[in-house]
DNA sequence: CCCCCCCC
């Protein structure tokens, strides 16, 4: 049975239709430059138009689930602009027919009676704003590529041009949240409740509010309404690119979309006090949210507080994993867990590598999966009334503890640690918390549970990834910028005695000394390549260089001085000579 | 433009 492409699909999308889920044919696929970004030309048999493909769909193209000639259904898409041209942004699609001859003789779509297709002069904002339906002008669309960038955990990358101008509204709470579903945009009617602060365009209309999950770099002006679910502390940095300060916060909207937002320097000064976290994060961190994008505010961004509470945006979003599942979760993963606190160990002082002393406390969490896990906490943990966790246990209460963004460690079995942006919730008012309580009180308390922690492997260390010397060599471990952590059992067969220390960079990076090896610069100074700075006096660090061997081979190993007199094998360098 | 995941 022949499949018909949806008549006038391109014109309809161009006109703003977002709901018809049309069938179109992919008549061309191009990978843009070195970016991981695909561009289709899609056709309805009469007209065709360029379509940018969301990077989460890249695999479909790479694995030939969509190819030139494929007939696809556009299930989620928007119309936008790219380089002054109207384009389609494909957010999701289904392949209907993988291989097909090109249908019809499609011509590039030209809108009739519209100025939209006419290329706008660069920076001519006035022109574009007069087009009230489509003030998402191309220049802004392109610039937004930079403000919205792939998160570091996604493999995508986008080329970031200079400067950009997103418009952004963020609220702690919102009244009258529009129930947003992309539909045909009606002619603009200014909603009375939104003012436009600091806009770069005169007489500019407020941007439309869209779901966080619909954000994409090809969008023009936009706004999101969201709750601040985490707020980091401002942090200073100093690196080869200069110094500055930065802070980040997390947003959650009424549709469950989350995104991390970052501001630097003057932008930080402008927004830091405005952003109020409804919850105080225990610690701070970088991105762990389920969003391919993160957002950077700039001087033209606006943030507006919406003072009225709105229940449609939850306080926090969790994706809990059962403790039994944690056993099979990769080390260093960031997960949400919830459990009953069944024990709280006394806190013990721990000396950190930077010389600071902190208090560590281990608690045990149990859930209905029949497993328990150790959770490492730093400092005191209190509920909203200021009652400490250990005091609650001491008075016979077994509180529910939910951990947002806990980190899985595999030291001694699997355990859970916290990272800077982890958040703890004692007896949170959420369904999982109530059902856990009920399970525990109705007999779960008396059932057996097995800990997934404390399964100490002899000789195990940080990651317990045991390698032979030949595996280290074959896999090229220790050769990249970031260290690889392995455990190796070997014999020291030779110790180098002529170099027991090296000239080290004394500059501080955050709270840690750089310590990179420095070289002579000019007559009397030293130069650090990492810090890109010169200084008169260098520091000295001990190191131990040795040959180690096991029954698979021989390699060089270097032990660096981490702090004080402690020597740790921090890095493996295989000998290439 | 940050990117630091604390201790065995």
Task: Confirm whether A342 is domain-assigned.
Answer: yes
The integer distance in angstroms from the CA atom of A22 to the C1' atom of B3 is 41
Same domain, A473 and A447: no
Task: Please report the pLDDT score of residue A181 as a whole number.
Answer: 22
Asked if residues A371 and A340 have their Cβ atoms less than 8 Å apart, the reply is: no
Q: What is the rounded CA–CA span in Å between residue A544 and residue A557?
A: 8
> Do A378 and A486 reside in the same domain of the chain?
no
Last residue of a domain, one of A108, A133, A157: A108
Considering all nucleic acid strands, name the nucleotide whose C1' atom is nearest to the C-alpha of residue A352.
B6
- Of A108, A124, A152, the last residue of a domain is A108
Nucleotide nearest to A237 (CA to C1'): B2
- Report CA(A15)–C1'(B6) in Å, whole number: 54
> How many angstroms is C1' of B5 away from CA of A285?
7
Return d(Cα A13, Cα A78) in angstroms, integer.
7
Write down the pLDDT at residue A187. Answer: 25
Is the residue at A245 inside a domain? yes
Q: Can you list the residues of chain A whose pLDDT is less than 70?
A: 1-2, 33-35, 113-205, 219-220, 276-287, 354, 455-466, 478-487, 510-512, 559-577
- Co-location of A362 and A412 in the same domain: yes
Tens-digit pLDDT profile for residues A456-504? 444 433 334 567 788 787 777 766 655 555 667 777 777 887 777 778 8
A332 and A222 in a common domain: no
Please indicate, yes or no, whether residues A293 and A385 belong to a single structural domain of this protein.
no
Question: Would you put residue A297 in left (φ > 0), alpha (ψ -120 to 50) or beta?
Answer: beta
- Return the pLDDT at A480: 62
Domain finish residue from A108, A125, A158: A108
Specify if A200 maps to a domain.
Answer: no
Residues A378 and A326 in one domain: yes
Claim to verify: residue A502 and residue A551 sit in the same structural domain: yes
> In this structure, are residues A408 and A414 in contact, taking their beta carbons and an 8 Å threshold?
yes
Which nucleotide is closest, CA of A351 to its C1'? B7
Q: Is residue A348 part of a domain?
A: yes
For residue A201, being part of any structural domain is answered with no
At A417 the pLDDT is 92
A127 contacts A120 by C-beta, under 8 angstroms:
yes
Question: Exposure pattern of A510-541 as b/e (b: 16+ CB <10 Å)?
Answer: eeebbbbbbeeeeeeebbbeebebebeebbeb
User: Which nucleotide lies nearest residue A412, CA to C1'?
Assistant: B8
Number of domains in chain A: 4
Rounded distance in angstroms from the CA atom of residue A511 to the C1' atom of nucleotide B5: 14
Token pair of A409 as six digits? 């460690």
Q: Is residue A144 assigned to a domain?
A: no
pTM equals 0.50
State the pLDDT at residue A169. 32
CA dihedral A312, A295, A75, A189 (to 10 degrees): 60
Question: What are the residues facing A26 on neighbouring strands?
Answer: A42
Contact A574, A472 (CB under 8 A): yes
Closest residue (Cα, C1') to B8: A411
Residues lining strand B at under 7 Å (Cβ) are A 149, 151-152, 160, 232, 235, 237, 239, 241, 244, 246, 248, 262, 264-265, 267, 283-287, 294, 296, 298, 334, 350-353, 358, 360, 376, 378-379, 407, 409, 411-412, 415, 417-420, 510
Residues A476 and A565 in one domain: yes
Could you tell me if residue A409 is inside a domain? yes
Tokens 């906490």 locate to: A377
| DSSP sequence for A200-245 | SSTTPPPPPB--GGG--TT--S-B---EEEEEPPPEEEEETTEEEE
Q: Nearest CA to the C1' of B5 belongs to which residue? A: A419
What is the distance in angstroms measured between the alpha-carbon CA of A167 and the sugar C1' of B8? 48
Nucleotide in closest CA–C1' contact with A421: B5
Assess if residue A312 is contained within a domain: no
Which CATH number belongs to the domain containing residue A78 in this structure? Answer: 2.40.50.140
Pair A289, A377 in one domain? no
| Whether residues A353 and A291 fall in one domain | no
What contacts A497, CB < 8 A, 6 or more positions away? none
Domain hosting residue A57, numbered range:
9-108
User: Which nucleotide comes closest to A334 if you measure CA to C1'?
Assistant: B5
| Number of residues that make up chain A | 577
Nucleotide nearest to A246 (CA to C1'): B2
**Distance from residue A438's CA to nucleotide B4's C1', rounded to whole Å:** 39
């Amino acid at each position: 049975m022949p499949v018909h492409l949806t008549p006038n699909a391109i014109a309809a999308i161009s006109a703003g239709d977002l709901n018809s889920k049309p069938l179109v044919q992919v008549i061309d696929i191009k990978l843009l430059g070195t970016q991981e970004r695909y561009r289709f030309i899609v056709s309805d048999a009469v007209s065709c138009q360029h379509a940018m493909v969301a990077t989460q769909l890249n695999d479909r193209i790479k694995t030939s689930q969509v190819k030139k000639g494929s007939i696809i259904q556009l299930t989620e898409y928007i119309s936008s602009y790219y380089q002054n041209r109207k384009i389609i942004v494909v957010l999701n699609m289904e392949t209907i027919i993988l291989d097909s001859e090109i249908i019809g003789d499609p011509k590039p779509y030209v809108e009739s009676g519209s100025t939209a297709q006419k290329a706008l002069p660069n920076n001519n904002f006035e022109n574009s704003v007069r087009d009230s339906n489509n003030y998402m002008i191309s220049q802004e669309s392109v610039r937004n590529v930079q403000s919205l960038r792939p998160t570091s955990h996604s493999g995508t990358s986008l080329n970031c041009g200079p400067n950009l101008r997103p418009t952004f509204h963020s609220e702690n709470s919102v009244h009258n949240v529009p129930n947003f579903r992309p539909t045909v945009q009606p002619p603009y009617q200014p909603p009375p409740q939104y003012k436009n602060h600091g806009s770069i365009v005169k007489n500019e209309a407020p941007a439309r509010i869209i779901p966080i999950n619909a954000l994409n770099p090809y969008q023009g002006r936009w706004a999101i309404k969201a709750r601040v679910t985490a707020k980091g502390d401002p942090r200073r940095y100093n690196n080869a690119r200069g110094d500055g300060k930065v802070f980040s916060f997390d947003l959650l909207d009424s549709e469950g979309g989350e995104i991390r937002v970052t501001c630097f320097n003057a932008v930080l000064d402008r927004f830091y006090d405005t952003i109020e976290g409804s919850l105080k994060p225990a610690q701070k961190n970088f991105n762990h949210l389920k969003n391919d994008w993160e957002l950077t505010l700039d001087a033209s961004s606006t943030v507006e507080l919406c003072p009225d509470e709105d229940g449609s945006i939850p306080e926090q979003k969790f994706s809990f994993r059962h403790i039994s599942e944690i056993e099979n979760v990769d080390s260093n993963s960031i997960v949400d867990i919830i459990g009953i606190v069944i024990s709280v160990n006394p806190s013990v002082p721990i000396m950190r590598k930077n010389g600071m002393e902190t208090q560590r406390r281990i608690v045990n969490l149990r859930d209905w999966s029949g497993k328990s896990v150790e959770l490492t906490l730093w400092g005191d943990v209190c509920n909203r009334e200021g009652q400490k966790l250990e005091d609650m246990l001491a008075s016979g209460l077994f509180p529910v503890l939910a951990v947002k963004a806990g980190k899985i460690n595999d030291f001694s079995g699997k355990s859970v640690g916290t990272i800077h942006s982890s958040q703890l919730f004692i007896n949170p008012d959420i369904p999982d918390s109530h059902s856990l309580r009920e399970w525990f009180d109705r007999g779960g308390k008396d059932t057996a549970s097995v800990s997934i922690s404390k399964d100490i492997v002899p000789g195990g260390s940080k990651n317990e990834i045991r390698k032979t010397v030949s595996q280290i060599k074959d896999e090229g471990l220790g050769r990249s910028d970031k260290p690889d952590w392995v455990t190796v059992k070997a014999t020291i067969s030779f110790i180098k005695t002529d170099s027991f220390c090296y000239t080290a960079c004394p500059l501080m990076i955050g709270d840690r000394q750089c310590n990179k090896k420095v070289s002579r610069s000019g007559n009397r100074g030293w130069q650090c390549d990492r810090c890109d700075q010169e200084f008169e006096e260098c520091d000295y660090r001990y190191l131990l260089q040795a040959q180690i061997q096991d029954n698979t081979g021989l390699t060089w190993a270097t032990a660096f001085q981490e702090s004080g007199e402690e020597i740790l094998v921090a890095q493996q360098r295989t000998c290439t000579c």
